[in-house]
Amino acid sequence: MRIAFDHQTFCNQKYGGVSRYFTSLAEQLVELDQDVRIFAPCHQNHYAKDLPTGIVHGFGVPRYPPRSLRVLTSVNRFVARRAIENWEPDIVHETFYSSHRSGPRTSRTVITVYDMIHELFKESFSDNDPTTRIKRMAINRADHVICISKNTESDLMNLFDIPKDKISCVHLGFEQFLSLPKADINSPAFDRPFLLYVSGRHAYKNFAGFLRSVAASPRLIQDFDVIAFGAGHFMPEELALFKKLGFRNSQVRHVTGNESLLGLYYQKARALVYPSFYEGFGLPPLEAMVHQCPVISSNSSAMPEVIGEAAEFFDPYDVDDMTRAIESVVYSEERISQLKILGQARLTKFSWGRCAEESLAVYARLI
């Protein structure tokens, strides 16, 4: 089967969950003897360079020149579509939402929906954000939709009135990150116990609620630092919140880096706290389980579906309940050991190989 992935996520993302999903999917589909090509004429994606020769049609650059994104997006769309049309694939899997078709009408089109955050948390985005309008156009145009969780599938049907027979649920896989040198493992950064937060810090991610839950406990705020891994540096209003809540200078720290560094922070953390109000899937808990890091998670949206019993759950809207959940884990060696064992068992439910097999079954039904 000829399967084409379009340019969108590879040209827009250097790193990120969506491009990692498609590179992992492409690699596994090749293992299943499928003819897979990614059409990304001029891309800036870190993961694409590690794919086997012949999958990526295009060339990578370290970064786009300043103020060139709009022009390069148009050029990439035009060149990629012509190349896809000439190749005549059976399936075109569009890697993000676009008002423009990425392949010929003779090919069947699939699109993946990751979450319905823009629709459920409108206040977190600009009034001029076109994502919902373009997403609806892309979904209506597609022959079939893949959702990455049952929760996202349910939200999509309710919010966009998409029939169930047009949707399939295919769970994601997960990564085990490469180890860092021993010198990094013994870094002074790990001298104090810490709680790990991994994600962006939009309002729906509930980072502020997490901090309030730590500050509400005299024991937690005394005994633990907080590490926020990823996204941008702290904003002035965040720094003001840290001070207001009573955190000491540098007790809440921002760290960013590659996946090997993230893997190290998972290994060293007392626990991962995942307080989000909504996630379409939620990879950090699975990543934490791979690295023997106990998980303390919100009980909302897709989290129970993905995590199963391998976490201490809390109501993300209840600061006291979050405090209870954190204390019940970090001060109990027995509970930590139990969550590590449950995490290892839970990981057997997810793999990129299974994701590829189920995606291929979707493609096969379409043609």
pLDDT at 179: 61
312 — pLDDT class (breaks 50, 70, 90)? very high
pLDDT in tens, 226-275: 999 988 899 999 999 999 999 999 999 999 988 889 999 999 999 999 99
pLDDT in tens, 16-56: 889 999 999 999 999 999 999 999 999 999 899 889 999 99
pLDDT at 14 over 90: no
Segment among 83-92, 173-182, 281-290, 318-327 with least mean pLDDT: 173-182
Q: Which two tokens stand for residue 26?
A: 């492409």
pLDDT at 178: 64
Which domains does the chain show, CATH number per domain?
2-173+351-366 (3.40.50.2000), 182-349 (3.40.50.2000)
pLDDT at 183: 46
Q: Is residue 266 packed enough to be buried (19+ CB in 10 Å), middle (13-18) or exposed (0-12)? A: buried
Please report, for residues 94, 225, 261, 264, 269, the alpha-carbon distance to residue 183 in angstroms, rounded to integers and kept in the order given: 42, 22, 12, 12, 17
pLDDT at 184: 57
Instruction: Name every residue whose Cβ is closer than 8 Å to that of residue 57 and which is 6 or more positions away in sequence.
Output: 37, 38, 39, 40, 41, 83
- Contact by Cβ (8 Å): 258, 179: no
Alpha helix (H) residue ranges in 161-283 = 182-185, 207-215, 218-223, 236-245, 259-268
pLDDT, the chain, mean: 94
Q: pTM value?
A: 0.91
* Residue reference for tokens 């990564």: 175
pLDDT in tens, 174-217: 877 766 555 455 566 788 999 999 999 999 999 999 999 999 99
Segment among 62-76, 102-116, 237-251, 321-335 with least mean pLDDT: 62-76
Please report, for residues 32, 190, 192, the alpha-carbon distance to residue 251 in angstroms, rounded to integers and kept in the order given: 48, 12, 10
